[in-house]
Amino acid sequence: MSILSVNKLEKNFGRTVVLRDITFSLEKGKCLAIIGSSGSGKTTLLRCLNFLETPSGGTISVNDQVLFDAADPSTQLESQVRMKRLHFGLVFQSFNLFPQYTALKNVTLAKELLSKERPDYKANKRHILEEIHNEGKELLKQVGLGDKMDNYPYQLSGGQQQRVAIARALAMGPDILCFDEPTSALDPELTGEVLKVIKGLADKETTMVIVTHEMAFARDVADYVIFMDGGVIVEQGPPSQVIESPQEERTRHFLERYSNG
C-alpha cells in the first residue's frame, strides 16, 4: 500500500520550469533515494513535499488523503500548511539547531509548543511536558546521544548535531521522514555516523525519502531509487536497476561521471 503518492507534480519559478511531470509512489516502511546532479530539481521536490514551496501543478497524497491538488483551491489554504507539514519530518543539509537550547530542548521544543493547543494542556501541563521530555530522551538514545542531552550545539560535533536534527524530526511522529543531503555539510569522518543512524531507521522500516549524493548508501540501503535530471524523473526503480544496470543514457552518464569524479 502506498503511503505517499505524487502525480504529475510541477513547479515553476516565473517562466523557469524546475519540476515537470513528477510522478511516483512510496510504500509504507520503504526507503526512497533521490539522486542527480546539482540543479536537477531534487531539493525543490523535497521542499514541495514539505510545503516549503507551493507546487504549480499536480497532486500530493499521504495515506490516500489529498494534501495538495493544483486543481482544487480548498487544498491550498495557508491555514492548512502547518498541519500538512506534520505528515513529513525534514532533516536539512545544515543542522538548523537553536544554539541557545540543549540537545534535548532542540528535540522537544516543537512538540512542547504544539502541546499548548491541546484542550487538556492547562490541567495536565506537568504530565504532558514530562511525557514529551521522556520521549525526547529516548530519541536521543536511539541516535546514540544519550550522554549528550544537556549539551549545547557548540559542544557537539557536526555529526552529533545532525543526529540531534534527526531526533528532532522523529519527535513529531511523521508519516514520512525526509532528508536533504544529510551528510553534505559533514567532514568525511563524520559522514559514517549519520549514515549509520539512517540505516538503522531503514532497518526499522521507517518510511523515508532521502536526497543524497552517497551512491553506496543509495545502492545498499534504499528500496527504490529515482534519478532526476533537468527537473524530470529520468529513471526510477530498485537500486539493482537504476544504479547497477541503468536503462537510460542520462542515468549511465551521470553514474559514470560521478564515479570518475
Return d(Cα 42, Cα 254) in angstroms, integer. 14
pLDDT in tens, 142-192: 999 999 999 999 999 999 999 999 999 999 999 999 999 999 888 888 898
Block residue for cell numbers 521536490: 45
Mean pLDDT over the full length of the chain: 94
- Assign 3-class secondary structure to the chain: CEEEEEEEEEEEECCEEEEEEEEEEEECCCEEEEECCCCCCHHHHHHHHCCCCCCCEEEEEECCEEEEECCCHHHCCHHHHHHHHCCEEEECCCCCCCCCCCHHHHHHHHHHHHHCCCCCHHHHHHHHHHHHHHHHHHHHHHCCCCCCCCCCHHHCCHHHHHHHHHHHHHHCCCCEEEEECCCCCCCHHHHHHHHHHHHHHHHCCCCEEEECCCHHHHHHHCCEEEEEECCEEEEEECHHHHCCCCCCHHHHHHHHHHHHC
C-beta atoms surrounding 22 within 10 Å: 25
Give the tens place of pLDDT for each residue, 69-78: 999 999 999 8
Q: Residue range 14-35: average pLDDT?
A: 96
Whole-model pTM: value is 0.92
> Residue 19 above 90 pLDDT?
yes
Q: Half-sphere exposure of 186 toward its Cβ, with a 13 Å CA cutoff?
A: 26
69 vs 4, 61, 77, 89, CA distance in Å?
Answer: 14, 9, 11, 21
